[in-house]
Structure 1
Amino acid sequence: MASNPLTLKLLINKQSNHVIYAESGKDFVDILLSFLTMPVSSIIRLTTRHPKIGSLNSLYESVEDLDVHYMQTKACKNMLLHPRSAAEEQYENLVIDIDEDTNPTEYYVCPLWVCAYRTHCLVSTVANAKCRCGQVMHRRLYRKKGDDGIDGRDGGFVKGGTGFMISDDLNVFPVSTSKSLELIRKAAVSESTVLEQRNVNVGRREVLHLLNCMLHSKTPLTDVFLEEKDMVDGINLDLNVMNLNLKDVGVDFNDIAQPQTEKEIETETDSKKVSLKLLMSKSNNRVLYAEGGEEFPNLLFSFLTFPLGSIVKCLGGTTTMGCLDNLYKSVEGLNNNDYMRSEECKAMLLDPKLALHFGCQNQLLQIEEQVPYQPTLSVCESCNCFGPYIKDYGNWICSHEVSKVQLSTLNPKFPNVVMEHGGAFMAGPAMFMVTDELIVKPLSPISGISLLNGLNINNNDLEERFVKVGKEEALSILKASLISKTVLSDVFSSKKPQQKYIMLYGKKFPFP
């Protein structure tokens, strides 16, 4: 993947020292839209964890501190701290390598030829996994660029040859004079002499800064580029546009993306809900911490694997995080045929999937996994060998006729040989405590007492409540975790303990 700087053209209001909008081609917009496909853990790691993203940083640090024996496998901890993206192949086409510390997915097969090709036909994305035959799967295979069937000459998400405008709050539009005038008027520009064109260089540093500002600011372009010193040039513009009416240039306000309608919460059985015991402060109606089995940390930690776009979709386009919602709605407003490379690319941004095997069996929010990749091995039965690539047959030199076999990918969340979806990150049975800020630790009465002492809570002020976490509560926790340091209190403190009922003679009566 290349990491070449690119140039962005800014229109600036010198009077207020704000970016009105930026003009760019495909390369910068592809980078901007790729943010929607990035898992939360990757963003926390890349933005050096400052400023914090609500309470999600607490979850990330909890995984770092948690002993691996609380996980189903050693791979689970790495999957949570370095989750894969289902759009990984698209990243290869970006001009700037955003996550240069993460290598493409690696594939390993059994070193025994007959096992890899004929007996078990297994492949692992984790080195040194155990094959069904007992051998360690350490023979590495390589996936060549373009194996996904996407034309690498025009990769990414949007079509080449099209210009785009990006407002300071990250609304993305096709280039348009009418839209330019609208943004200038919105910026309350009174004199054309206060407008300036400025070209700035954009490298990895600026991209990461923009990613961070997108989540915390309403003016990320201004925050990133007007404090930079390496500008290419500055040109004063003398535009005679102040007396034009937007109707004169045909502004169509129907082109502006509208917010999504609120999602309905589906009904679910109690068997799928997660039970929690909350320790509350009666005086301020605050959750001090929650106690529960491994199912609750498994739910919370799974948030770290969610792509940003899937979170926006789950919450109906109302995350209230910086300009993230604007970026998402911009994709909704871009016409498939004119600007997006394909319907698949648009869906990859608006409904990004989890990478293969990153979904959990009892995931309450039910974010889908990507369609399983079907690795194929090229083999030669005459000389008992196989090629170094998967799903590639043309570049392997063998004098004999080669055949191919489809491999089954192991699910790294299972300690034994399993190819099916599902599973969980956390091992059980185990009990955990979760603080209001979503710090997760193994349950320890001593740790609980230390926490209460630190908060200066009197024993007489304590109250226990029992709640169940279903889809509705999981969505509320997810939304609060993006922006709050008191997640459990935000979700549960206003709720009274759930009333229990008893059935007598076909009627339901409150149970004391």
Structure 2
Amino acid sequence: MANSVKFRLKLLIDEKRNKVVLAEAKQDFVDVLISLLTIPMDMGIGHFETEACKTMLTDLRSTKDIHRKRLKMNMSSTNPSKFFVCPSFFKSDSYGHSAYSNFKNTRCSCGALMTSQIQVPEEEQVEKLIGNKEDGVFVNCRSSFIVTDDLKVTSNSIGVLMKVLNDRGYAGFSDLQETLIDVGFEEVRSLLGCLLSSEAALTCTFLKKTRMMRNLRMLSPPAPKNVKVCSVEVYVRKIDREILYAECNGDFVDYLLSFLVHPLELACSLSNDNTILGCVGNLCTSPCRGEASKSLLLPRIYSCSNNNLLDYDYQSTTYECLIGKSYSSCEVARSISRLPIAGEKAVSLYPSNPKIKSGTSSGYGTGFMKKNTKFIVSNDLTITPMNTSSTIGLLKKLQVDISDLEKYQINISKVELISILRASLISSSALTKGLSNLLVKKPKEEA
């Protein structure tokens, strides 16, 4: 069980300042630490375009899922991928329904639910395995490592140790206490929480010290063409210019939901000046990371036709399938070299789009949310479908008079979406932090 695994760390602690200066760790712990960059974000919501959309976003998938399973401790709770086909797949000589889905409640083009499960070996689900048992999965050497308080990771050596101490103002070990600790699942989970919110993740985790974060300044996202992608109405409290909520359609919510599938390293590295929040940037640039672990391909099932927010690449896999003479079994692989024998049929299996509703063309139903539906998005990105009870309940909860609110119509481009994304990682006021620069104060009306 991953929850029972323990790692032994050696901490150097400045007791006078109540601060962890550095940790000495073995390869297996650093491998798990680097793997945190590959875990997608998560949240829950209703009112999806299809039932499969709900499953997709409550059971998030990553192209690194199988690789993380090879770690001594896997911090993601993803279940093994399952593969489903239409029940007609084994019954028809034409094999017209030759699509597969990783979600049981996906509808086939014929209207039937894909409920027949087929087995795809794990080694066939990845193009190639990264790393190895000796050197690690996400790291590329088997030495011990020095991990600083802000999670700069380097291979251990006397020279590195001396430089780290010297850079932090220590002439030697006289002011430092050496402590051995055992680190388990809960400690690593706490460390994950400190990645974005603290500049001193080890101190925050192991000394239970209040998280130390630099003052949040206006984030500097990349500067793509400032093309409008959607429009929202935001309601601003006059006294402090706080955005309390936004009214929007399903397109804007699709953009927000697409944030969930981003691995932390992708979500945090979107900046012209390489500003990366918390300690994530130090992990991203660690020289011990293997090149293969840096691939940022996302599963194609999460792509939306109107929603390529960050212009990232997607990965989808087509399989070859040999169906046996009995029509009840099949062999699935990326490529099957042998020719079918008497009674066998060879079929190509391509990935189905779980977001498309039965009876619609491929140009429709390609987002997560139901179209022509209005939503309310609060400052902390809580999403609810708009109705009378939701609007009244929100205003009561906020305890704000209608006269204290101003309404703004805002055009949202990729720049603003990236700003909201980055703000959401460290703040409960994501809309205000991400969109406040678009709010032009309205002139006072003359009496």
Question: Shorter-chain-normalised TM-score: which range?
Answer: 0.7 to 0.9
Alpha-carbon spacing, 1:490–1:312, altered in 2? closer, same or farther (3 Å)? closer
Matched, 1:344 2:277: no
Matched, 1:299 2:290: no
3-state SS, counterpart of residue 138 of structure 2: coil
Identity among equivalent pairs (%): 29
Give 1:275's aligned residue: 231
Alpha-carbon spacing, 1:133–1:295, altered in 2? closer, same or farther (3 Å)? closer
Which of 192, 195, 203 is the equivalent residue of 2:173?
192
After the TM superposition, which residues 221-240 of structure 1 pair with which residues of structure 2 at under 5 Å, given as runs?
Answer: 221-226=202-207
3-state SS, counterpart of residue 434 of structure 1: strand
After the TM superposition, which residues 96-495 of structure 1 pair with which residues of structure 2 at under 5 Å, given as runs?
Answer: 96-99=73-76, 101-112=77-88, 113-115=90-92, 118-147=95-124, 148=126, 149-150=128-129, 153-154=132-133, 156-189=137-170, 192-226=173-207, 264-270=222-228, 273-316=229-272, 317-320=274-277, 322-330=278-286, 334=287, 339-341=288-290, 343-345=291-293, 347-348=294-295, 352-363=296-307, 365-380=309-324, 382-387=325-330, 389-391=332-334, 404-416=346-358, 423-495=366-438
Whole-angstrom distance in 1 between the partners of 2:441 and 2:367: 28
Deviations 1:370-393 (A, max 9, x none): 32122332333x444433654487
CA drift of 1:183 comes to: 1.6
Give 1:252's aligned residue: none
Amino acid at match of 1:34: S
Amino acid at match of 1:481: S
Determine if contact 2:34/2:289 at 8 Å carries over to the other structure: no
Amino acid at match of 1:144: P
3-state SS, counterpart of residue 483 of structure 1: coil
Amino acid at match of 1:40: M
Give 1:91's aligned residue: 68
3-state SS, counterpart of residue 201 of structure 1: strand
Whole-angstrom distance in 2 between the partners of 1:262 and 1:226: 32
Determine if contact 1:361/1:422 at 8 Å carries over to the other structure: no
Amino acid at match of 2:225: T
Quote the RMSD (CA, aligned, Å).
Answer: 3.4
Give 2:25's aligned residue: 24
Whole-angstrom distance in 2 between the partners of 1:105 and 1:387: 17
3-state SS, counterpart of residue 283 of structure 2: helix
CA drift of 1:414 comes to: 1.5
Q: Return 175-184 or 310-319, whichever deviates more.
A: 310-319
TM-score w.r.t. length of structure 1: 0.73
Query: Between Structure 1 and Structure 2, how many residues are aligned?
Result: 423
Amino acid at match of 2:264: L
Whole-angstrom distance in 2 between the partners of 1:8 and 1:402: 56
Amino acid at match of 1:84: R
Alpha-carbon spacing, 1:120–1:25, altered in 2? closer, same or farther (3 Å)? same
CA drift of 1:73 comes to: 0.7
TM-score w.r.t. length of structure 2: 0.82
CA drift of 1:202 comes to: 2.9
Give 1:239's aligned residue: none
CA drift of 1:487 comes to: 2.8
Give 1:9's aligned residue: 10
CA drift of 1:442 comes to: 1.8
Amino acid at match of 1:162: S
Unaligned runs of 5+ in 1: 42-59, 228-260, 500-512
Deviations 1:251-289 (A, max 9, x none): xxxxxxxxxx9664222544xx21112223334333232
Deviations 1:387-414 (A, max 9, x none): 36544879x9x99796643201111112
Amino acid at match of 1:344: A
Determine if contact 2:98/2:348 at 8 Å carries over to the other structure: yes
Amino acid at match of 1:125: N
Alpha-carbon spacing, 1:293–1:135, altered in 2? closer, same or farther (3 Å)? closer
Alpha-carbon spacing, 1:192–1:437, altered in 2? closer, same or farther (3 Å)? closer
Deviations 1:130-185 (A, max 9, x none): 33445443222233233222267446122242332211110111223222112222
Determine if contact 1:86/1:370 at 8 Å carries over to the other structure: no
Determine if contact 2:52/2:106 at 8 Å carries over to the other structure: no
3-state SS, counterpart of residue 182 of structure 1: helix
